[in-house]
Amino acid sequence: MHPTIEWKDGQVVMIDQRRLPLEEIYLELHDEDRVAEAIETMVIRGAPAIGIAAAYGFALGVIRLKPGADIAAEVDRIQARLWETRPTARNLFWALERMRRVFETGRGLPLARLQERLLAEAMAIDREDEDICRRIGAHGAVLIPDGATVLTHCNAGGLATAGYGTAIGVIRAAWEAGKKIRVLADETRPFLQGARLTAWELGRLGVPYQVITDNAAGWLIHTGEVQIAVVGADRIARNGDAANKIGTYSVAVLCHENDIPFTVAAPISTFDFSLAHGGLIPIEERPAAEVREINGRLIVPQDAAVRNPAFDVTPARYITAIITERGVARPPYESSLAPWRD
């Protein structure tokens, strides 16, 4: 039930999220370069899951070092390789910085001890994530009215985390608390995380859902079908501006215009307190092929130009609440988030 990522027999094993929901294929990754490629090509995606993958990749890289290697230089190389995989999700850098601190603290230890410590840290990041998500779920479930239809965008579920989910963690906790809810899942072009991954997860959980095209969300909000929106985040600035999957900004504006609460669920590791506002968050442009093709078949004219911004930033003024493992923050976020600054 936790297929996202695990450490097994000295390898990182993850389900190939590009093939879901029609095929459940597990990949075994033997070195940090394969882990980096898996992050780049979205075998694994979702901010917390990217962080966990990077942590395992870091440990794996050091574990593969031979006695006599220039450890400091190799660690720099391993970290840099993983660091450059994707630019937006804060959790990637948070996890790598955490691994780096373990390395720095353990400098001078025998390589075998260092390897043990780094693997233990990656496993801790993995294990803690599920606990964090369960706490996010518990805090957030309170906000979901019994009988509600909940809108979500992209996949902030078990597949985007160690296994429980952030936004879907909230939905799941409300469902497990006995609330009769249902979910509208935006299909989330171009990668179709909603149609493929959120639908697959909700089906396994037994939560009733319907998949809708992204452009139907606004209309269904407007006609009164939606009582609350819950999404994840890839990076949150200290004023509450939140980067998340492209289309999140639109959902937030449409909720705002129709007086529907729009909430963001994310661990503290997603916050970037060094950024004053969301305009400073780097937005990844992904390969054109993701828009041009679906299932490998062209959907535009051969010579068509496309754009593929993978994320957007929702200004804090559209966000009703930010749900974290430490509780629920409300506007103004500059002050409500401040206590969680480490």
| Residues with active-site annotation | 234
The 10 Å CB-count burial string (b at 16+, else e) for 52-75 is bbbbbbbbbbbbebeeeeebeebb
What are the angstrom distances between the C-alpha of 281 and each of 44, 62, 87, 118, 273?
A: 21, 30, 9, 29, 11
Least distance (Å) between residue 237 CB and its own copies: 16
Phi-psi region of 108 (alpha: psi -120 to 50; beta: other; left: phi over 0): left
What are the angstrom distances between the C-alpha of 314 and each of 131, 159, 232, 277, 294?
A: 27, 23, 12, 10, 27
Cβ-based nearer residue to its own copies, 82 or 183: 183
Cβ-based nearer residue to its own copies, 186 or 272: 186
**What is the binding site for its own copies (CB under 8 A)?**
21-22, 153, 184, 186-190, 192, 195-196, 199-200, 203, 208-220, 222, 246-247, 249-250, 253-254, 256-257, 291-292, 294-295, 297-309, 312
Give the whole-angstrom CA distance, residue 152 versus residue 268: 20
Cβ-based nearer residue to its own copies, 185 or 266: 185
Least distance (Å) between residue 178 CB and its own copies: 22
Task: Return all residues near 54 (Cβ < 8 A) that are at least 6 apart.
Answer: 35, 39, 82, 85, 92, 95, 96, 99
Least distance (Å) between residue 41 CB and its own copies: 19
Least distance (Å) between residue 245 CB and its own copies: 8
Cβ-based nearer residue to its own copies, 147 or 208: 208
